[in-house]
């Protein structure tokens, strides 16, 4: 005999309330559906569990005996489910999380904190990668999962977006455009640029605005190893740099201005991975949950101006 747990739960609710309307309200189901499930349970068992009149509901002798069995079965099942969930949360291991500068911005701490709370047995090993590896460790499998800016050149990487933020032009304080509030992409194509030092030509093309240049190469005057180095080069007046809007919050400098760029798509912050594992799936699910719970924070990141 294959009796569904739904029918057992419905029967227990009616047996404890001795009233179909109250039991239906307790279970958030329609009274007609509840009554149908209980009758089907009686048919499955071949016994009458409840004696019904127009005014009362009473347990039959068979119903009294079966009530204890049903309660015991449901309690054991619920305990087993909780034990399985707890065992999964206690699952050990290390998840190697690579990230570029800024990681997931203001969402980083909520994501990593919630992951640690949900899976206390997992060690989250965070490592920052420089411009040389925009895949943040995915290309050589030194990371299990990464917070990265696409596009990148690495093959076999899957992505899930978290947010997209506007691009800005980082200019020296004395630059001809420094007093502007924003610029159009066509106005800045001749500017000398500083760009991260990397062999990833796909990533490099995005940050030098190659799609807007009609086959004319960008005027790259400096290659940099870090955001700090890039910031100081721009501050010195040697070059400008295309970066993401959050740089204005995270890397303030008295000799640098940040101007939103019109006419270009934003920078997408992605979760990336090459191999799906339970730990990777857990991190992805956690990041999704945090983003769903933080709509105002996401809006502030995506529309800062």
Domains and CATH numbers, the chain: 5-89 (1.10.10.10), 93-164+268-302 (3.40.190.10), 167-265 (3.40.190.10)
Specify the pLDDT at position 10: 93
Give the length of the chain: 305
Find all residues with CB under 8 Å of 29, minimum gap 6, and list them: 10
Residue pLDDT tens, the chain, 305 long: 678 899 999 999 999 999 999 998 888 789 999 999 999 999 999 999 999 988 899 999 999 999 999 999 998 998 887 777 666 555 678 999 999 999 999 999 999 999 999 998 899 999 999 999 999 999 988 999 999 999 998 888 999 999 999 999 999 999 999 999 999 999 999 999 999 999 999 999 999 999 999 888 999 999 999 999 999 999 999 999 999 999 999 999 999 999 999 999 999 999 999 998 889 999 999 999 999 999 999 999 999 99
In the chain, what percentage of residues exceed pLDDT 70? Answer: 97
**So what's the pLDDT on residue 215?**
81
In our burial notation (b when 16+ CB lie closer than 10 A, e otherwise), range 67-99 reads: beebeeeeeeeeeeeeeeeeeeeeeeeebbbbb
Q: CB neighbours (10 Å) of residue 205?
A: 16
Both structure tokens of 264:
């270009």
CA 223 to CA 260: how far, in whole Å? 22
Q: Is 226 exposed, middle or buried (0-12, 13-18, 19+ CB in 10 A)?
A: middle
Query: What is the pTM (predicted TM-score) of this model?
Result: 0.70
């Amino acid at each position: 005999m294959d009796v569904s747990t739904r029918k057992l739960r419905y029967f227990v609710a009616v047996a404890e309330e001795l009233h179909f309307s109250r039991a239906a309200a307790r279970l958030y189901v329609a009274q007609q559906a509840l009554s149908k499930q209980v009758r089907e349970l009686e048919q499955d068992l071949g016994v009458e569990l409840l004696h019904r009149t127009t005014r009362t509901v009473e347990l039959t002798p068979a119903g009294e005996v079966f009530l204890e069995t049903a309660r015991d079965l449901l309690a054991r099942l619920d305990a087993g489910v909780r034990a399985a969930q707890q065992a999964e949360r206690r699952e050990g291991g290390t998840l190697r999380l690579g990230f570029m500068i800024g990681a997931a911005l203001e969402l980083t701490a909520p994501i990593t904190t919630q992951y640690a709370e949900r899976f206390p047995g997992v060690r989250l090993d965070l490592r920052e990668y420089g411009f040389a590896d925009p895949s943040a460790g995915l290309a050589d499998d030194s990371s299990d999962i990464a917070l990265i800016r696409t596009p990148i050149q690495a093959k076999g990487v899957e992505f899930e977006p978290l947010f997209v933020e506007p691009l800005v032009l980082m200019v020296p304080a004395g630059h001809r455009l420094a007093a502007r509030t924003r610029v159009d992409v066509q106005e800045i194509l001749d500017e000398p640029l500083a760009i991260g030092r990397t062999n990833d030509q796909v990533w490099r093309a995005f940050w030098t605005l190659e799609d807007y240049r009609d086959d004319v190469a960008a005027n790259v005057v400096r290659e940099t190893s870090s955001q700090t180095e890039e910031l100081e080069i721009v501050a010195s007046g040697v070059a400008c740099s295309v970066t993401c809007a959050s740089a204005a919050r995270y890397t303030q400098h008295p000799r640098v201005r940040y101007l939103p760029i019109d006419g270009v798509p934003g920078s997408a912050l992605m979760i990336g991975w090459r191999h799906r594992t339970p730990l990777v799936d857990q991190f992805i699910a956690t990041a999704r949950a945090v983003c769903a719970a933080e709509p105002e924070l996401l809006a502030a990141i995506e529309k800062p101006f």
